[in-house]
């Protein structure tokens, strides 16, 4: 999602979301967290200054000279001056904040007039277009489990669903707010080669990240035993390999 569209159009393609928009006028960029996207962005726009923030010190030291990282909690008042950035990028921060309007208000304050914020997140709802996912499938359970976690922690995971975040952005003061849902497959079931490749990456990312996504939340927030989580994860892995299902996730 982005508020106000630069002439070049910020969302070039799903695979480029990590780098996203052209810098509009200039010299300041704030991107959320993380190494490679920020470094890539800094390489692509060498006259810009790129700042990435994250709670955790996971960033590499080998970065372009115009890129730096700061450890900070983005849910608290930001340390940056008013009107100091042309562009702010947020990706995959679902569940990180209790109050998104507050975060967007900081974006608004720190953006120069005419600047842009672009936020890319995903839905926890996994569905199919052709009824290949039954109501009692692990994917329905997946959504139910994450919804329960969100309800208990007060950190909603419903961000892009029903364009909720567009409302929060407007509440924070943004005008000219656009949303663009991008539906991607999970698994290699699509016939079309590009979608098949995206699906393979989605499946790989899910398989590799699965335990990390859920173990802490399910044991501490939902009170599950470690063994219960492992059984549940095994069902999700089975779901990922189930060739009769054609799951889709939305970004
Ligand atoms: C799912 S990762 C996404 C990382 C990156 N944006 C991407 O798209 O690859 C979420 C990141 O948010 C960071 N994070 C969580 N809460 C945060 C907060 N309150 N302020 C800043 N960073 C936070 C975590 O440390 C983690 O690196």
Asked if residue 114 lies in contact with residue 4, where contact means CB atoms within 8 angstroms, the answer is yes
Contacts of residue 20, defined as CB under 8 A and 6 or more positions apart, other chains included, come to 10, 11, 12, 41, 89, 118, 120
The CATH number of the structural domain formed by 2-122+158-178 is: 3.40.50.150
Residue nearest to atom 22 of ligand 1 (CA): 54
What three-state secondary structure class fits 54? Answer: strand
Q: What is the full per-residue pLDDT of the chain (251 aa) written as tens digits?
A: 444 333 344 433 332 333 333 332 234 566 654 445 667 778 888 888 888 888 888 777 788 888 888 888 999 999 999 999 888 989 889 999 999 999 999 999 999 999 999 999 999 999 999 989 988 899 999 999 999 999 999 999 999 999 999 999 999 999 999 999 999 999 999 999 999 999 999 999 999 998 998 999 999 999 999 999 999 999 999 999 998 999 999 99
In angstroms, the CA 108 to CA 102 distance is: 10
155 ligand 1 Cβ < 6 A: no
Instruction: Note the pTM of the prediction, 2 decimals.
Output: 0.85
Q: Give the pair of three-digit tokens for residue 241.
A: 């390999």
Q: What is the pLDDT of residue 31?
A: 60
97 Cα nearest atom in ligand 1: 19
Numbered ranges of CATH 3.40.50.150 in the chain: 2-122+158-178
Gap from CA of 212 to ligand 1 centroid (Å): 14
Dihedral sign (CA 153, 135, 124, 211):
positive
Contact 66, 49 (CB under 8 A): yes
Tens-digit pLDDT profile for residues 24-64: 223 456 665 444 566 777 888 888 888 888 888 877 778 88
Q: Is 205 in the pocket of ligand 1 (CB under 6 A)?
A: no
Pick the closest to residue 14 from 227, 197, 203, 243 (CA basis). 197
Residue with tokens 């039954």: 134
Q: Are 89 and 30 within 8 A, CB to CB?
A: yes
Residue of the CA atom closest to atom 15 of ligand 1: 96
Atom of ligand 1 nearest to the CA of 54: 22
User: Which ligand 1 atom minimizes the distance to the CA of 90?
Assistant: 6
């Amino acid at each position: 999602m982005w508020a106000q569209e630069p002439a070049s159009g910020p969302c070039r393609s799903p695979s480029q979301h990590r780098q996203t928009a052209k810098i509009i006028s200039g010299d300041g960029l704030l991107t959320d967290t993380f190494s490679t996207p920020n470094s890539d962005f800094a390489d692509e726009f060498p006259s810009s200054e790129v700042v990435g923030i994250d709670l955790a010190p996971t960033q590499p030291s080998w970065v372009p000279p115009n890129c730096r990282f700061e450890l900070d909690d983005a849910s608290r008042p930001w340390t940056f001056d008013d009107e100091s950035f042309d562009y702010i990028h947020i990706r995959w921060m679902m569940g990180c904040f209790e109050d998104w309007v507050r975060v967007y208000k900081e974006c608004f304050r720190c953006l120069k007039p005419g600047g842009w914020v672009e936020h890319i997140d995903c839905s926890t709802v996994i569905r199919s277009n052709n009824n290949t996912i039954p109501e009692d499938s692990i994917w329905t359970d997946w959504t139910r489990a994450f919804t329960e976690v969100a309800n208990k922690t007060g950190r909603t995971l419903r961000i892009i669903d029903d364009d909720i975040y567009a409302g929060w952005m407007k509440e924070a003061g943004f005008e000219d707010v656009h949303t663009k849902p991008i539906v991607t497959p999970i698994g290699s079931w699509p016939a079309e080669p590009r979608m098949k490749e995206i699906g393979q990456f989605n499946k790989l990312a899910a398989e590799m990240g699965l335990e990390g996504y859920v173990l802490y939340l399910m044991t501490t927030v939902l009170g599950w035993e470690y063994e219960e989580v492992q059984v549940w994860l095994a069902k999700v892995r089975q779901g990922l390999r189930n060739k009769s299902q054609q799951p889709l996730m939305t970004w």
